[in-house]
Chains A and B, each alone.
Chain A
Amino acid sequence: MSKLVTFEINGQQHEIAVEPYETLLWVLRKQSHLKGTKRGCDSGGCGCCTVHVDGKAVYSCMTFANSLEGCKVTTIEGLSQGSELDPLQTAFVEEGAVQCGYCTCGIIMTAKELLASGQALDEEQIRHGIAGNLCRCTGYTKIVKAIKKAADSR
């Protein structure tokens, strides 16, 4: 049975009919055409689908859409303001942290939550912070550098 759920995506109110089995990932990709959120495994194992729900980074493949009534969802598309990129996005480009790029948006969303507290972050905290996001191309070296750069320049 589908159910109407009202929630915010990137600052805009949406009223969406969702089936009980439909995850936030599928709603974002299919119904909202927000393709920046990626499906890597659909089982909470890779983090490619990470978005924010009420400011907290979550796996959207593990979040049922019908649980989102009244929530605020932010995706990678909501991070930049037009051509103005988030400092994390710029740091990822400048530090060479992007290779195939499939994991990139999920990691940036996880890092965004890490940076939100405003507290200083050391390398170890960053590595533990993104341990739920897999990357197969980079060995994480330049990803950690990029996050550190964005963290230090807050």
Chain B
Amino acid sequence: MTNTTVVGQSILRPDAWEKVRGGKGFPVNVSLPGMLHGKLLRSPYAHARIVKIDASAAEALPGVKAVLLPRDVPQIRFCPVFFVPTLAPSMIQDMLVMGETVRYAGQPVAAVAATSWKIAEQALELIEVEYEELPAVFTADAAMREGAPRLHADAEGNIAKNPIFEFGDLEAGFAEADHIFEGTYKTQRVHTCYMEPRVCVVDSDADGRLTVYSSMQHLFGLREKLAFALGLPESMVNVIKPPYIGGGFGGKLDIGYIEPIAALLSMKTQRPVRIEQTRYEDFITTTRNPIEVYLKTGVKSDGTFTARYARSTLDCGAHATHGAEVIMVHGMFGILLTYRCPNRTWEGRVVYTNNMIGGGYRGYGSPQGAFAVESQIDEICEALKLDPIEFRLKNAHQQGDPHPFNPGFTLSTYRFEDCLRQGAERINFSRRGKAGSGDGVLKRGIGFGCQPVWVSGCMGFPDIYEHSGAIIKLNPDGTANLSSATVDMGSGQITTLCQIAAEELGLQADQVRMTYADTETVPFDAPSHASRVTYSSGTAVKAAAANVKKRVLEVAAIMLDESTEQLEVRDGHVHSKGSGRKLSIAEVVQRAESPFVQMTAEGPKPTTIAEKGTIIGLSSLAPPSNPSPSTVEFVEVEVDTETGQVKVLRVVFAHDIGKVINPAGAEGQVEGGFQQGMGYALMENILFDQETGACLTSDFLDYKMPTAVEMQFPIESIFIESDEPTGPFGAKSLSEPCVTVPAPAIANAIYNAVGVRIRELPITPEKILAALGKL
């Protein structure tokens, strides 16, 4: 393991000091002189054609400065997803900012900008829309049935995308099997529940050049997609980086309607326009797609996989958006690549319905896959009386294997076995009893779930951006400013990246400060998503810091009259290994920035041309690989067999993460990730009225997520460190598997407790009681 002084320390988050005092940096706080407030009028119908809109009364309302109707909006079909090129063939360009057809209840049909939000709200009530209601479908099954209303002219059977992957000979694999297992596993629609609503301020200048502030996870994606949707060159849009945003979790990885609508309203009024979504609007903006997985597995009696087949049906809602990519990640990383098996086939169907559109959410298709795969493995082990740990190891990938996703990469560090064994030891898995064997009303059980293969970014995905960049500039006081387009959505990117820069530059963590960035001044960076920032952006930051260090050594070499090979940076100084002399980095920067005669405390000193120039380092690069972390989570639960309620008692999480950059930050990811995963497993569910398509869970009173009371149990994090050769200081990734594994772990623990298998999330008390024959 590389010897480090700053990396590997639980450095306190620099942004926390400001956040506990109010946190000025959230996009929700952006306010510009003369700013107008925008509001969207949303369709009450799930499927309808707009016959007529009369906005004259709204336009006449004092304080209303502009009304935007579908006819005012460029009719450009686009895909709103940030991390793919706009015209990526894998994605589907099926959205308009506003059009003549609405395909889900809540789709915007008009917008208003006014001097106050109240006037804007009143104006919406004055807009008269005549709709021709069309027949609607609210389930993927209904949408695929013959005679179902077609939502998009070019999607026959309402199938937006139908990918298939095949490896080996499936039929032969099933023929070879001693046992075949089948099951259908269903997951629900849930929301990321970022706490800061989606909000933006867009300011157009007289030339139509847009300055954009928004609570989102990707500066450059917002620039590209917004420009495309409006028919503008990208150079006409500048996205300002928010110092931080109030959560994202994948839910802010696409342009919503608000940014293009605010832009058009600003162009019309020549004033800045702010749109802040209500929580209801957030609940119908992005979601984790529900997927139904039919899974059929062939195994030998010793537990070796011979064949795996899965068919996944994803309800993408009214527009494909993320669904077109979620299905791929789900099929590959959620199902097919997880374990070795010579014969595998997977087919996915992305189906249009008149439900809300989907979005990104931590795990991006993998939670839906892991619930199916890890539940079924438990069923297989139970039926064949096999040890579930040895079963998984028998079928696991090995360190040194080619990466199952991209054989061009190697699993250089891969410690799945250590995750399984150390986690099992910590929770004392060997004490686990027979399923449902406990006495009494309250029954306890232990279970676990795995994410054997995951990503550190998207290197190797043909259509997904993955390069990163950074600029680091030294100040005359010896501190550094780091400027990068990476958005910190709360998961600690600022801290991690500053630690990486500080380590490379021989500075203290608090001597590197994350500073301003926008799309006009810093290099491209892919989004904060796909568990990528530590590995990919970290690689770019380290490279920029290395360039800075190189220049520091060059100037110091002249100042000391020694060769750069003799010099090294540490403790904020350049040290000579030969002479033992040292210079502070501040002295080096002051020399580089001085006029030709430098005024010093000891008097004027002549300098040379070769020393001159701001010490600044730049990088823009793609990372060398895509190392896989692996993850196992053990959960102990208690099930009340009279009420069906499930209480989590203890969680042990083991993660092969590479080098841990910030242990406390990493623990925070695990603890928060479990909360989201537990909510998914046990309680969260976005519900719609099946007659009208109206969202029934549009605030936190109806949409239940875990509070501090439900989270009262210990969560133990075991980080299994290794020195990933391609990662910055040996780091791989964390984040998403923390959310993926809780649902199958909890489902398996419930089975162990009460002996009933629930194959549909969320596992509510009603489902448990029904399975126990008590309802």
Our verdict on whether A and B bind, yes or no, reads: yes
Using a CB–CB cutoff of 8 Å, the interface residues on chain A facing chain B are 19, 21, 34-36, 38-46, 48, 76-77, 80, 85, 89-90, 92-94, 96, 98-105, 108, 123-124, 126-128, 130-144
Q: Contact between B671 and A136 (Cβ–Cβ < 8 Å)?
A: no
Q: Contact between A136 and B279 (Cβ–Cβ < 8 Å)?
A: no
Q: Contact between B278 and A42 (Cβ–Cβ < 8 Å)?
A: yes
Complex CA gap A100/B19 in Å reads 8
Complex CA gap A94/B17 in Å reads 9
Q: Which of A19, A92, A140 contacts B675 (CB 8 A)?
A: A140
List residues of chain A with CB within 8 A of the CB of B249: 136
Known contacts A136-B675, A137-B247, A138-B668, A98 near B16 by CB under 8 Å:
yes
Q: Is B578 an interface residue (CB 8 A)?
A: no
Query: What are 19 sample pairs from A and B whose C-beta atoms fall under 8 A apart?
Result: A34-B22, A42-B278, A43-B279, A45-B279, A46-B700, A90-B20, A96-B10, A98-B13, A99-B672, A100-B489, A101-B244, A102-B246, A123-B712, A124-B712, A134-B193, A137-B672, A138-B671, A140-B675, A140-B707
Q: Which of B24, B192, B276, B278 contacts A136 (CB 8 A)?
A: B192
Q: Nearest-CB distance from A111 to chain B (Å)? A: 11
Q: Which residue of B lies closest to A35 (CB)?
A: B29
Using a CB–CB cutoff of 8 Å, the interface residues on chain B facing chain A are 10, 12-13, 15-17, 19-24, 26, 28-29, 118, 192-197, 244-247, 249, 276, 278-279, 489-492, 664-665, 667-668, 670-676, 699-701, 705, 707-709, 711-712, 715
Q: Nearest-CB distance from B653 to chain A (Å)? A: 11
Q: Nearest-CB distance from A66 to chain B (Å)? A: 15
Known A101-B26, A136-B676, A140-B671; further 9 A-B contacts with Cβ < 8 A:
A96-B12, A100-B244, A102-B247, A103-B195, A104-B20, A127-B712, A128-B709, A136-B705, A140-B711
Binding site of A, secondary structure by majority: helix, strand, loop or mixed?
loop
Q: Which residue of B lies closest to A127 (CB)?
A: B708
Q: Contact between B195 and A38 (Cβ–Cβ < 8 Å)?
A: yes
Q: Which residue of A lies closest to B665 (CB)?
A: A96
List residues of chain B with CB within 8 A of the CB of A124: 712
Q: Contact between B701 and A99 (Cβ–Cβ < 8 Å)?
A: no
Q: Contact between A101 and B21 (Cβ–Cβ < 8 Å)?
A: no
Q: Return the 8 tightest CB-CB contacts between A and B, nearest first.
A: A100-B490, A36-B22, A45-B700, A102-B246, A101-B19, A139-B671, A102-B195, A139-B675
Q: Which residue of B lies closest to A99 (CB)?
A: B490
Q: Contact between B195 and A134 (Cβ–Cβ < 8 Å)?
A: yes
Q: Nearest-CB distance from A147 to chain B (Å)? A: 10
Q: Nearest-CB distance from A76 to chain B (Å)? A: 5
List residues of chain B with CB within 8 A of the CB of A105: 19-20, 22-23
Q: Which residue of B lies closest to A128 (CB)?
A: B709
Complex CA gap A126/B19 in Å reads 21
Complex CA gap A119/B492 in Å reads 34
Complex CA gap A108/B19 in Å reads 11
Q: Nearest-CB distance from A52 to chain B (Å)? A: 15
Q: Which of B15, B20, B244, B668 contacts A85 (CB 8 A)?
A: B20
Q: Nearest-CB distance from A101 to chain B (Å)? A: 3
Q: Contact between A45 and B20 (Cβ–Cβ < 8 Å)?
A: no
Q: Which of A34, A92, A136 contacts B672 (CB 8 A)?
A: A136
Complex CA gap A130/B224 in Å reads 41
Known contacts A138-B672, A142-B668, A100 near B13 by CB under 8 Å:
no
Most chain A CB neighbours (cut-off 10 Å) among B17, B195, B673: B195
Q: Contact between B23 and A99 (Cβ–Cβ < 8 Å)?
A: no
Q: Which of A44, A101, A140 contacts B708 (CB 8 A)?
A: A140
Q: Which of A41, A44, A96, A101 contacts B246 (CB 8 A)?
A: A101
Q: Nearest-CB distance from B25 to chain A (Å)? A: 9
Known contacts A96-B668, A139-B672, A134 near B705 by CB under 8 Å:
yes
List residues of chain B with CB within 8 A of the CB of A131: 707-709
Known contacts A45-B279, A48-B195, A89-B20, A137 near B491 by CB under 8 Å:
yes
List residues of chain A with CB within 8 A of the CB of B192: 136
Q: Contact between A136 and B711 (Cβ–Cβ < 8 Å)?
A: no
Q: Which residue of B lies closest to A93 (CB)?
A: B16
Q: Nearest-CB distance from A133 to chain B (Å)? A: 8
Q: Nearest-CB distance from A63 to chain B (Å)? A: 17
